Amino acid sequence: MRANSDNLAAIFTPKSVAVIGASTTPEKLGFQILKNIRDAGFKGPIYPVNPKATSILDLRCFPSIAQVEGAPELAVIIVPAGAVPATLAACGAKGVKGAIVISGGFSESGPEGEALQRQAVEVAREQKIRMVGPNCQGVNNPYHGLCASWPLLTMQGAIAVVSQSGTVAAALMDWAAQEGIGVSALVSMGNRADVDEADLIEYFDSHAQTRAIALYIEGVKDGPRFLAAARRATKPIVVLKPGRTEKGRQAAESHTKSLAGRDEVYQGAFRQFGICRAETLHELYDFSKALAYLRRPPGQKVLFVTSSGGCGVLAADVAAGEGLDVAPLPEALHAQLRSSLPRHFVVNNPLDLTGDATAKMYKDVIAAAKGSFDIVTVIFGDPIVGASEVIDRDHPELVVFLGGADVEREEGRRLHARGVPVFPTPERGMRALAQLARFGLPREKAH
């Protein structure tokens, strides 16, 4: 009965959308979601459904889904929980293929809600409708102008964000938008009554714009299916799963009414199936960014090139702690750089160009040193104008930028626009590099 992930197309790339429970009240989600779909630039017809309005946001409004003049492929549903099963049935009759159920009041709210959720799933399966939610923050596909979620975010990128928490998903997409790096899609899974992480791993693994999957889960819905999807996946998967402590586990079970399970079991499975585990939200973001935009270095030998001795020290300390090889410069390279660089530059690893560094000096030193190391970490520790031009777009170094204030933000945006990820501190950069060395796609497989 369960359809495969192919038919998630109606959810991510529908030709037309109905918003059932669209509202005229700006504070309500039924208004905000409609507005976000419109403002994100959705190209197809949008059909607000609300029996009490004739038009919302200048869009013609229909009293019911049955009366829509057109053929909505996707329905975004924001009606009271009790009305959801009937709404899904009416959607099916209308030919709707995908549903995103925002409404809460299902399994998360007790036994009655649980019964209602079972009913909704039955209807959806009968009607051959794939359903995200209920009790979720929706779906955002910036490549399709489809922000069926909130807040309004539209920046396109290469990370697919899949989350049991709407806030976590929104936060990641917001960070990515702020940095000018974007996401390939966002899915807030809510109660996962139908579509779950296994479906989504499968879908995004064959999704052209996605190069890494960032997953927040408090417990997997179906262990064997999840592991099968993870085993088949060819793209890196990064997971943040809380519940290391007993209190955290209890909170997770109370939140999603799913079995959080013993952490060691998860840890073992993640290890076995090559899933990269993040310890914090920032790591979930950083690791996904590294794995989506950089390739696995051929080995562990890392060179640091920096204008900030302090940042070099911080980076080397974390890198060594992560098992990376902070190797000395080969003799010939040392001699070459020593003779060509000013006397006060520290020709060592970290290679400290001091506060006198210019973009050109970085460029020359990286070019000379690159062949002797598996990866070069470039730390711009000052307002270095032109820093973004230093980095090779095709085989980029790992870049950290800090202490540069406005110049840092401008050059960072330029790097992100060129598809080169930038990390905000030496420590975060080195933690990400360590994951890249373990879980990164090799260069020959690069997209």
- The interface with its own copies within residues 222-251 (CB under 8 A) comprises 242-251
Is residue 179 a contact residue for its own copies (CB under 8 A)?
no
Whose CA is closest to 221, among 245, 249, 256? 256
Bridge-partner residues for 228, per DSSP?
none
Task: List binders of its own copies among 309-338 (CB under 8 A).
Answer: 309-314, 316-321, 326
Stretch of 8-16, 100-108, 126-134, 369-377 contacting its own copies, by CB under 8 A: 100-108
Q: Which of 74, 215, 237, 252 binds its own copies (CB under 8 A)?
A: 252
Task: List binders of its own copies among 257-286 (CB under 8 A).
Answer: 279-282
Q: Is 225 exposed, middle or buried (0-12, 13-18, 19+ CB in 10 A)?
A: middle
Shortest distance (Å) from residue 172 CB to its own copies: 9
Whose CA is closest to 360, among 386, 336, 397? 386
Determine the Cα–Cα distance for residues 314 and 219; give it in Å rounded to an integer.
Answer: 35
Q: How many residues bind its own copies (CB under 8 A)?
A: 80
Shortest distance (Å) from residue 316 CB to its own copies: 4
Using CA atoms, how far residue 354 sits from 103, 209, 431, in Å, is: 56, 40, 24
Determine the Cα–Cα distance for residues 271 and 207; give it in Å rounded to an integer.
Answer: 24
Q: Which of 58, 264, 331, 406 binds its own copies (CB under 8 A)?
A: 406
Shortest distance (Å) from residue 211 CB to its own copies: 23
Percent of residues in the chain assigned helix, strand, coil, to nearest 5: 45, 20, 40
Q: Which of 298, 330, 355, 442 binds its own copies (CB under 8 A)?
A: 355
Q: Which of 56, 428, 434, 437 binds its own copies (CB under 8 A)?
A: 428
Distance of CA 58 to the CA centre of its chain: 33
Is residue 307 a contact residue for its own copies (CB under 8 A)?
yes
Task: List binders of its own copies among 202-221 (CB under 8 A).
Answer: 216, 218
- Within 8 A by CB and 6+ apart from 15, the residues are 44, 73
Shortest distance (Å) from residue 314 CB to its own copies: 5
Shortest distance (Å) from residue 427 CB to its own copies: 4
Shortest distance (Å) from residue 174 CB to its own copies: 5
The pair of structure tokens assigned to 351 is: 């290679």
